[in-house]
Amino acid sequence: MLHTTTPQLILSIATHFLVPLAIAPLFPGIINKVKAAMAGRRGPPLRQPYLDIFKLLRKTLVISNTTTWIFFAGPLVAVGAMLAVELLIPIGSSPAPIHFAGDVILFVYLFAAARFFTTSAALDTGSSFEGMGAAREVSFAVVSEAALIFSLLIMIRFSSGLSLNTLLLAPFKQGSVGPRLMAAVGLFVFLLAETSRVPVDDPDTHLELTMIHEVMVLDHSGPLLAAVQYASSLRLLILINLVLLFIGPPHTGIPILSWVLFILEASATAVLVGIIESVMARLPLRHVPTLLAAAAVLSGLGFILALR
């Protein structure tokens, strides 16, 4: 640990935990702004996601009679899992407060747990649309999770230890540039799939037949929907952070400067996502697995290159 005194330690942990919580809804706003700008519109203000969440929190909760506690648990577990992930993963150049050998496995499983509960909640409604969305989500995840796991294996190959702190903050080495970049591209596709972005999914569509992620949350309302939206913006931030760590963490040494740098880099990545959304069309559903498999194969090849 860089920090020696207790107050400093507490401060750094608090920053690590709270700053991402505060800035997470900013990034969907950035993406929407970029899309609007590319289309020649002014678009909603950057703070729109915050406003949406506050508005939803004030609304009453409508719950279908057919649902059970699982429907209720889904969004809450998703938020909880993301909060836990946030404590496990280094963000920018700030190391994670909780770390132990093998926390990389917990990291992967927390994503899986969030997905499990989200899809279960969707199935719990008994609606055919939401069931279809859940089926798609899970079947695509089978392929896209391979990309995540291969990417992490690459980092394990290039560092000693199984803790995310040592893995992700490892400096570049001889021969690690190529595999890391390949993994970063693979992870970027994973990000697009995981946060339901074009070309995998279209977050703006209102046609249930073609949606994947959004269709699962049709029945959620009020505070629960706010939780869903907050969890997804947290997930976006964490995955952007993961991609950035693969490309190379900026080491400035001064915490405040690092955080500013991190926010700038994350915003740039969000702008890139926005540009991709504007210039690309959504893939036909049957071609989505090809793209995800390509990402997985890319990371897998990177892993084999890393073994060399």
Partner 1 sequence: MAWLVNAILTMVLLLNLFLLSVSRMKSLISGVALQGIMLSILPLLLVKEVDPLILITALVTAGIKGWTIPRMLDKALRDVRIKHEVEPLIGFIPSMLIGAAGTAAALMMTIHASGLHHPKSLLVIPASMSTILTGLLLLTTRFKALTQIIGYLILENGIYIFGMLLLAVVPFLVELGILLDLFVGIFVVCIILNHIHSAFASLDTRRLTSLKE
Is 293 among the residues that bind partner 1 (CB under 8 A)? yes
CB 156, min distance to partner 1, A: 18
Which pair of structure tokens corresponds to residue 300? 């897998």
CB 159, min distance to partner 1, A: 20
Nearer to partner 1, 123 or 189 (CB): 189
Is 287 among the residues that bind partner 1 (CB under 8 A)? yes
Is 38 among the residues that bind partner 1 (CB under 8 A)? no
Binding segment toward partner 1, per CB under 8 A, in 125-133, 151-159, 191-199, 287-295: 287-295
Nearer to partner 1, 90 or 302 (CB): 302
Q: DSSP character for 171?
A: P
| Site size toward partner 1, by CB under 8 A | 17
Is residue 240 within 8 Å of residue 269, measured between CB atoms?
yes
Which pair of structure tokens corresponds to residue 190? 């994973």
Distance CA 249, CA 301 (A): 23
Is residue 268 within 8 Å of residue 188, measured between CB atoms?
no
Binding mask 162-181 for partner 1 (x = CB under 8 A): -------------x-xx---
Alpha helix (H) residue ranges in the chain: 6-23, 26-38, 48-58, 69-88, 103-124, 128-158, 164-168, 177-194, 222-247, 255-279, 288-307
Binding segment toward partner 1, per CB under 8 A, in 71-79, 100-108, 270-278, 284-292: 284-292
CB 138, min distance to partner 1, A: 17
Establish how many alpha carbons lie within 13 A of residue 165's alpha carbon, considering only the half-sphere containing its beta carbon.
Answer: 12
Is 275 among the residues that bind partner 1 (CB under 8 A)? no
CB 220, min distance to partner 1, A: 33
Residue 91: strand pairing partners? 94
Interacting residue with partner 1 among 10, 14, 62, 304 (CB under 8 A): 304
Nearer to partner 1, 262 or 303 (CB): 303
CB 287, min distance to partner 1, A: 7
Residues 47-76 touching partner 1, rule: CB under 8 A, are: none
Is 300 among the residues that bind partner 1 (CB under 8 A)? yes
Residues 180-199 touching partner 1, rule: CB under 8 A, are: 182
Distance CA 8, CA 185 (A): 36
Nearer to partner 1, 264 or 307 (CB): 307
Buried b (16+ CB within 10 A) or exposed e, 238-255: bbbbbbbbbbebeeeeeb
Distance CA 244, CA 258 (A): 13
Nearer to partner 1, 123 or 183 (CB): 183
Buried b (16+ CB within 10 A) or exposed e, 139-156: ebbebbbbbbbbbbbbbb
* Interface residue list for partner 1 (CB under 8 A): 175, 177-178, 182, 287, 289-290, 293-294, 297-298, 300-301, 304-305, 307-308
